[in-house]
Amino acid sequence: MSEPTATTRPLEPDWSAITAEELIAYRDAENRFRASSAARAITGDPDPGAAIDWQEVALPDRDLPVRVYRPADENRAREAAPAELPLLLHVHGGSFVGTAVQCDWTNSHLAARLPAIVVSVEHRLLDAATPLSAAADDAWDVLRHVMRHAAQWGIDPTRTVVFGESCGALISALAAIRAREAGLRLKAQVLVNPAVDVTETMFDHASIAEYGYSPTRAVPLLRLFQRLAVPPGTDARALSPLYAENLGGLAPALVVVPTRDAVADHGRRYAERLRAAGTSARLTEYPGARHAFLSMPGVEPQAETARAEILEFLRAALAGCHDGRCRV
């Protein structure tokens, strides 16, 4: 996949009135911007210690592009970690818009500094013909494929993490639940500004009332997201980790919540439910930060602190440590 060098960002549409055709046109233009050199002022420059490339994952019924981040000097990386490198399966935010390129700043840093192989899934984006379940299947199928072909990817499948932002955090949380049910042991899950409730109650949280229209008009966008995610006849609770029947036995979680965010309470409540089920969950709030702050280091100063926290958490989790305890 090629990346444009510069482009103009499209105007935000009226989310409540956008047609199916207008949505496709808008997201194509917006994703061209997010993948352009012009966007680097917002999304940040990649870490020079990481090599970045696109690859295709051949699944039984479809091929999916993934953006892969590796330590630039793999020989030095392997000296630091004699076994194969850990796998971080990443899912970008946006739901009906978005691309792995917008997360280069964070993912390249993690690949270079852990070190690890980061595989970011360019999943099918939500639209009138593509519900949330399709995007969730894309992440899950890529996760299983890479773990099954560990030697080909140069990863240690016993040191696997899922990591996502916004809708990508929802998809990552679903993947963590599916991994437990399939007997796949993950080392950790990192959920940044997670939107983990796509039922009608997603609008009942206090943070929606406080930040639904400021600093951005989040409510119309969220209503479109919900409408595309769960078409009529879909069980919204099955796609809402917040309402999962059993959250016990999951990988330790880091839940990162920016406080000026309409879905901040999604993350807070999910961390509470994880803890109540006996799953280790660290909740960290970033006062004053906006929803997509981790992917906007050029305008959100707390992105650097959050990235450093994620790195520290993952180092501990991959070493078998959480909550001050280590497991050999």
Q: Give the active site residues.
A: 166, 261, 291
For tokens 């917008």, name the residue. Answer: 102
CA 307 to CA 201: how far, in whole Å? 30
How far is CA 268 from its chain centroid?
Answer: 17
3-state secondary structure 16-72: CCCCHHHHHHHHHHHHHHHCCHHHHHHHCCCCCCEEEEEEEEECCCCEEEEEEEEEC
271: DSSP letter: H
112: DSSP letter: H
Calculated CA dihedral for residues 64, 67, 73, 74, nearest 10 degrees: -30
